[in-house]
């Protein structure tokens, strides 16, 4: 009888109605929580994507030139941190290619990320070095949705080191009016200096060493370490002549057949060092050709410095041209190659003239397993070398693959955002339906209460 009294037009009891209302409230709260988490997750993905784009953009701009023709890497850092810095330093702001990064302000392209500090860190140089590396370290704080987290963004760059140290030529000037033109000072320690003086007065010769008698020299420049200067080439005139039995001679060789010869000490009548004009040719590009140095064969050198270096890469020279990615992903292959730091075994190979400085590079045998085209063995010694310059083509293709992956990821992100928006619409519709149903349930509950009150009133 009591159940019949509490029943509504649908035959649902009061207890069932209250339970349904509780379940509806719980479901609505859960849906709202899921929606909030999804929104925060998408925001974090977008923020990380913006940070990656910002870092890549800064590294690209640092490699560009400013209006004066100087690398932005040098001019931007000098403006922010000063010149000739040798340690970690902080700056209030840093401007790179029109992008201004300011400590205490939001990071460009990511307003929810605040820049706490700007530091130039890990500045490395050694005595006499002109190259070094420094890292731009940005300490960042995430303030999105009240979630605070700190982390560092490091942008590694290579820069020119402007730092005067011992063992460098520090001054080159001339003292007019005293006969000594072109005085160069070489710093050998903190106070003592060795001087080299070109005297234009008197004979057109210069002697370095204990023999001051210019009449006994046979070269325009003679270096004497002991005894008197003598030469087996009687009557010859050489541009540069060291003392007897240790001579390097510029001029005619022993039999006079070469225009220019460079010889070391004689061993059984044979020169230990000989640059023959038939093998090495140096010409004037104005009067002869554009070839400054033409070498037939290989050049083995410890260190080569050049203002520019070009590979022969004309299409007319090449055949069977294929894309690098034809045999698989270039990026996947790069994962099998290690970048390493190392020291050369200088003492075990003194003839190679290796540097004793710590270096960064690759292992030829490891590169050969992945890209054998980049490795070549010396035909005499068998030791292997890597064509580092040819890695540019590999890195270009790897970059293109990464860009394609980024594009696909962005498309997927856009799709997921669309799906999230669709789910939001569907969830809103379900919540609205639940709210209408809850309103109907409340009306029915009020009606039940009214009927119960009437029954109780009549019984009284």
239-260 confidence digits (pLDDT tens): 455 555 554 555 444 454 444 4
419/292: higher pLDDT: 419
Range scoring the smallest mean pLDDT among 175-184, 215-224, 232-241, 419-428: 175-184
The confidence band for 284, taking pLDDT boundaries of 50, 70 and 90, is low
For residues 323 and 359, which has the higher predicted lDDT (pLDDT)? 359
pLDDT > 90: percent of the chain: 6
Mean pLDDT of all residues in 217-243:
48
Least confident range from 146-150, 163-167, 179-183, 224-228: namely 179-183
Mean pLDDT of all residues in 183-196: 38
Establish how many alpha carbons lie within 13 A of residue 164's alpha carbon, considering only the half-sphere containing its beta carbon: 8
Q: What does the pLDDT read at residue 222?
A: 55
Say what the pLDDT of residue 145 is. Answer: 52
Residue 231 is predicted with a pLDDT of 43
- Say how far apart CA 362 and CA 395 lie, in whole Å: 15
Q: Which residue has the higher pLDDT, 256 or 352?
A: 352
Residue 22 and residue 438 in contact, taking contact as beta carbons nearer than 8 Å: no
Among residues of the chain, what percentage have pLDDT more than 70? 45
The answer on pLDDT for 340 being more than 90 is yes
> Residue 21: pLDDT band by 50, 70, 90 thresholds?
low
Residue whose C-alpha is closest to residue 37's, from 77, 29, 217, 60: 29
Whether the pLDDT of residue 413 is over 80: the answer is yes
Listed range (42-56, 117-131, 203-217) with the worst mean pLDDT:
203-217
Average pLDDT, the chain: 66
pLDDT in tens, 41-62: 555 555 566 677 777 777 777 6
Q: Residues 214-218: what's their mean pLDDT?
A: 48
Winning range, highest mean pLDDT, from 200-214, 271-285, 438-452: 438-452
CA dihedral (442, 444, 445, 446) in degrees, to 10, reads 90
Q: What is the pLDDT of residue 8?
A: 52
Nearest-angstrom CA–CA distance, 362 and 340: 6
Strands 131-142 and 110-124: antiparallel
Q: Sign of the C-alpha dihedral, residues 115, 118, 121, 123?
A: positive
Choose the most confident range, by mean pLDDT, from 273-282, 335-344, 433-442, 445-454.
335-344
Report whether 412 contacts 393 (CB < 8 A).
no
The model's confidence at residue 198, banded by pLDDT at 50, 70 and 90, is very low
Strand partners, 377: 384
Give 211 or 171, the one with higher predicted confidence.
Answer: 211
**Per residue in 354-379, pLDDT tens?**
888 999 999 999 999 999 999 998 88
Q: What's the pLDDT at 418?
A: 78
Closest listed residue to residue 258, CA positions, set 249, 269, 245: 249
Confidence of residue 404 (pLDDT cuts 50, 70, 90): confident
**pLDDT-based confidence at residue 169 (cuts at 50, 70, 90):** very low
């Amino acid at each position: 009888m009591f159940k019949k009294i509490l029943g509504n037009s649908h035959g649902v009891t009061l207890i069932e109605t209250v339970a349904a209302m509780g379940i509806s409230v719980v479901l609505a709260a859960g849906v709202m929580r899921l929606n909030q988490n999804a929104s925060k997750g998408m925001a974090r993905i977008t923020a990380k994507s913006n940070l990656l784009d910002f870092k890549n953009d800064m590294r690209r701009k640092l490699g560009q030139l400013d209006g004066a023709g100087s690398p932005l890497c040098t001019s931007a850092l000098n403006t922010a941190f000063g010149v000739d810095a040798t340690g970690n330093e902080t700056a209030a702001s840093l401007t790179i290619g029109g992008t201004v990064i300011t400590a205490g302000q939001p990071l460009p392209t990511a307003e929810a990320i605040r820049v706490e500090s700007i530091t130039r860190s890990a500045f490395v140089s050694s005595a006499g070095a002109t190259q070094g590396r420094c890292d731009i370290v940005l300490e960042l704080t995430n303030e999105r949705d009240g979630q605070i987290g700190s982390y560092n963004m490091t942008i590694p760059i290579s820069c020119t080191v402007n730092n005067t140290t011992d063992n460098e030529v520090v001054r080159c000037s001339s003292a007019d009016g005293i006969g000594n033109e072109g005085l160069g000072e070489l710093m050998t320690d903190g106070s003592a200096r060795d001087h080299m003086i070109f005297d234009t007065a008197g004979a057109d010769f210069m002697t370095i060493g204990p023999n001051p008698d210019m009449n006994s020299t046979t070269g325009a420049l003679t270096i004497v370490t002991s005894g008197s200067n003598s030469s087996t080439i009687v009557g010859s005139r050489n541009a540069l002549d060291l003392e007897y039995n240790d001579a390097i001679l510029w001029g005619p060789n022993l039999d006079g057949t070469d225009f220019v010869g460079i010889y070391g000490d004689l061993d059984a009548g044979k020169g230990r060092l000989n640059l023959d004009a038939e093998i090495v040719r140096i010409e004037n590009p104005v009067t002869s050709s554009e070839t400054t140095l033409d070498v037939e064969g290989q050049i083995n050198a410890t260190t080569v410095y050049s203002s520019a270096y070009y590979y022969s890469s004309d299409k007319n020279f090449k055949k069977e041209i294929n894309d690098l990615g034809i045999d698989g992903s270039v990026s996947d292959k790069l994962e099998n190659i290690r970048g390493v730091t190392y020291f050369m075994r200088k003492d075990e190979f003194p003839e190679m003239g290796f540097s004793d400085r710590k270096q960064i590079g690759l292992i030829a045998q490891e590169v050969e397993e992945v890209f054998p085209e980049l490795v070549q063995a010396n035909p005499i010694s068998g030791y292997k070398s890597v064509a580092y310059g040819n890695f540019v083509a590999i890195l270009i293709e790897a970059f293109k693959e990464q860009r394609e992956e980024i594009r696909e990821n962005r498309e997927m992100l856009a799709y997921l955002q669309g799906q999230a928006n669709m789910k939001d619409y569907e969830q809103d519709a379900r919540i609205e339906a639940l709210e209408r149903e809850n309103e109907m349930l409340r009306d029915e509950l009020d009606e039940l209460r009214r009927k119960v009150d009437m029954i109780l009133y009549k019984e009284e």
